[in-house]
Amino acid sequence: MAESKRKNFFWLQLVTRKQIDSALADERPSRLRSQRFRRLLVVALGLMIIAYGVSEVLLGRNKLQSYVEGLLLITSIISYFVLRRSIRLLADAPTELLDERMVAIRDRAYTTAYWCLSVVAGIFVGILLGNDFSLARSQGLTMVICFSLIVGALPAMVLAWTLPSEPGLTDS
């Protein structure tokens, strides 16, 4: 029987086999992989997403608000990619490229992330109920963008929060 061709790009996860292999094989010590740094990054990313959502209400629709919103969106996306790198792309790695232990760690993080996501969804529904489902178009768009950022980043955030520092790093 012919062996199936190895996939090199995983469309759903937006990663390549080479990216995952090099991230998992990297043995150089890095401050990115200390628990303290990852937790600070998680808190910063969460605060940026919240600030993005609140900026619509606090600043209204004006030029300053658009600059603040753009800056927060760009820094949130950059922070997310740094966070992904700090957890060695584990949240985005396809199962076939991980060993059983890593799959279990990733799957446990996804379970926790979806529990957290149900709380976040409840908050968003509460906001909608509090406004009688009548939001301005810009407020609705801001809520959709915030929710999308949270959905995409939450598994990586949970992994970053729960993974211990790698050997050779201290959290001092």
Rounded Cα–Cα distance for residues 67 and 100 (Å): 45
Please state the pTM of the whole predicted model: 0.85
Local confidence pLDDT in tens for the 172 residues of the chain: 445 577 888 887 878 889 888 888 888 878 888 999 999 999 999 999 999 988 877 877 788 888 999 999 999 999 999 999 999 999 999 998 999 999 999 999 999 999 999 999 999 888 888 877 777 777 778 888 999 999 999 999 999 999 998 876 555 4
Rounded Cα–Cα distance for residues 99 and 83 (Å): 21
CB under 8 Å, gap of 24 or more: what pairs does 92-95 form? Answer: 92/13, 92/14, 92/15, 92/156, 93/13, 93/15, 93/20, 93/24, 94/7, 94/10, 94/12, 94/13, 94/15, 94/20
